[in-house]
Amino acid sequence: MSLKVVIIGGGSSYTPEIIEGLIKRYETFPVSDVVLVDVDAGKEKLEIIGGLADRMIEKSGKPIRLSWTLDRKKALEGADFVSTQIRVGGLEAREKDERIPLRHGYVGQETNGAGGIFKAFRTIPVLLDIAKDVHDICPHAWIINFTNPAGIITEAVLKHSPHQKVIGVCNIPFNMRHSTAEILHVAPADVKIEFVGMNHFVFGKKVYVKGVDRTREVLHKLADEKLDYSPANIVSLGWSKTFIESIGLLPNPYHQYYFQTKKVLEKDVQAFQDNGTRAEVVQELEKSLFALYSNPDLAEKPKQLEERGGAFYSDVACSLMDSIYNDREDVQTVNTLNHGAIPDLPDDCVIEVNSVITKHGPRPIASGRLPRVICGIVSHMKAFEELVVQAGVTGDYSDAYAAMVMNPLVADEADSKVLLDELLEAHREFLPQFTSENLKRGVQS
């Protein structure tokens, strides 16, 4: 019996992790075929990754057939799972998402603020295309999306594609569980966190260790010992006792952008002056990673990959595929339709939520009304995300401006226009929905 996984964005530096994950889970998730897919521009990388993956599989002794191709439609034939881990426009585009806002005194970040909006604008049309192909070619396949901004992208597909079998994943909840385990000196598997919110804006509401509520202790330690759990790719400033104890919730590292904006900006501006944008840092990192990957003696995921920031992303994806395949009914944290799980948010929006994973998809666990203290900001962020999805689909200038000006990290009437116009211009080739007509209308107004 065949079990086929297609990895779109197969030339990504993360791919060795997903290959490792598939090998590791072979007993319960006996994948027979893996196809790596990428676009023309990524051909070279794809081949390097293909070679490494081949060596990894061979070394493992598992009977997995591997291939790589630029022909996405062909690759999708008979697929059971399709993972999407793409970067439209590559690191060059990311570099612009970071640099342009920073230049105007705004957070320049891959998934937040003006940069995050444009990453979404570039990615939405491509993911909708992929979802359409999947729907036509392998309608039973699940798309596991870990392309950022993962929540927004997943919502765009769920709202605008006929293909409804899509789940978004992120490593932040995974990291928060692991860091909490470290803080408490317990095994990660014993830690459960009740998450509320959205991707990159998720809070931990309760921490249970073997079923016992230890939330207060974690909050206390987070505050007191200035512990934090930021991934490699973003700043790490720690949280004050006052903040932690007043909100009574575990923030995630991305919350620094919203509640420590000035300090983050300072640090990012400094880092930018020292090393260029994070994109440029990553470009260097990638270069050295691919140099490693090219080594014909390497047959495993190199340690250095963990510095990349997205560590465990693929591991999370593999766990999810395994649970779907085996109809496990275990609880994982994914991006899926709300359906009332957070009654304060629209039923049809995507949230990041603990869900029971079954063969027919994730079932979100209801957590009741949002904690009062975050109800406003979470509603705000969700509504903002909905504006991004809308603009990402219509390509309408006013919609895009609305998203920009309603983002709490931008908010300024005049600068919203400046950022919008500059980014539209900079990313023009990757924004087919923003037709020249729309652009012209926008620029003139």
The catalytic residue positions are: 254
Residues 211-240 that bind its own copies (CB under 8 A): 211-213, 239-240
Closest CB to its own copies among residues 276, 346: 346
CA–CA separation, 303 and 307 (whole Å)? 8
**Is 201 a residue that touches its own copies (CB under 8 A)?**
no
| Residue 166 three-state SS | strand
Query: At its nearest, how many Å lie between its own copies and the CB of residue 128?
Result: 20
**Is 343 a residue that touches its own copies (CB under 8 A)?**
yes
CA–CA separation, 83 and 92 (whole Å)? 23
Strands (E), 136-255: 142-145, 166-168, 191-198, 201-209, 212-213
**Is 381 a residue that touches its own copies (CB under 8 A)?**
yes
Tell me which residue of 394, 372, 379, 326 sits closest to 349, measured CA to CA.
379
Tokens 């929540």: give the residue.
151
Closest CB to its own copies among residues 289, 387: 387
Closest CB to its own copies among residues 58, 348: 348
Q: Name the segment binding its own copies (CB under 8 A); options: 145-153, 210-218, 275-283, 288-296.
A: 210-218
Residues 246-285 that bind its own copies (CB under 8 A): 246-248, 258-263
Could you say which of 283, 379, 394, 433 contacts its own copies (CB under 8 A)?
379
User: Residues 164, 300: contact at Cβ < 8 Å?
Assistant: no
Q: Check residue 163 and report its DSSP letter.
A: -
CA–CA separation, 232 and 306 (whole Å)? 8
Query: At its nearest, how many Å lie between its own copies and the CB of residue 414?
Result: 6
Query: At its nearest, how many Å lie between its own copies and the CB of residue 108?
Result: 17
**Is 81 a residue that touches its own copies (CB under 8 A)?**
no
Closest CB to its own copies among residues 6, 391: 391
Q: Residue 357: which H helix or E strand, with range?
A: strand 350-358
Closest CB to its own copies among residues 39, 375: 375
Closest CB to its own copies among residues 73, 360: 360
**Is 413 a residue that touches its own copies (CB under 8 A)?**
yes
| Residue 335 three-state SS | strand
**Is 377 a residue that touches its own copies (CB under 8 A)?**
yes
Could you say which of 358, 393, 422, 439 contacts its own copies (CB under 8 A)?
358
**Is 26 a residue that touches its own copies (CB under 8 A)?**
no
CA–CA separation, 290 and 407 (whole Å)? 36
Could you say which of 184, 365, 393, 439 contacts its own copies (CB under 8 A)?
365
**Is 414 a residue that touches its own copies (CB under 8 A)?**
yes
Q: Name residues whose C-beta falls within 8 Å of residue 363's C-beta, 6 or more positions apart in sequence.
A: 355, 356
61 backbone φψ class: left, alpha, beta (φ>0; ψ -120 to 50): left
Site for its own copies (CB under 8 A): how many residues?
79
CA–CA separation, 323 and 257 (whole Å)? 33
On the CB side of 97, CA atoms within 13 Å amount to: 26
**Is 341 a residue that touches its own copies (CB under 8 A)?**
yes
CA–CA separation, 38 and 35 (whole Å)? 10
Structure tokens given for 38 = 């990428």
Closest CB to its own copies among residues 60, 261: 261
**Is 300 a residue that touches its own copies (CB under 8 A)?**
no
Could you say which of 156, 350, 405, 431 contacts its own copies (CB under 8 A)?
405
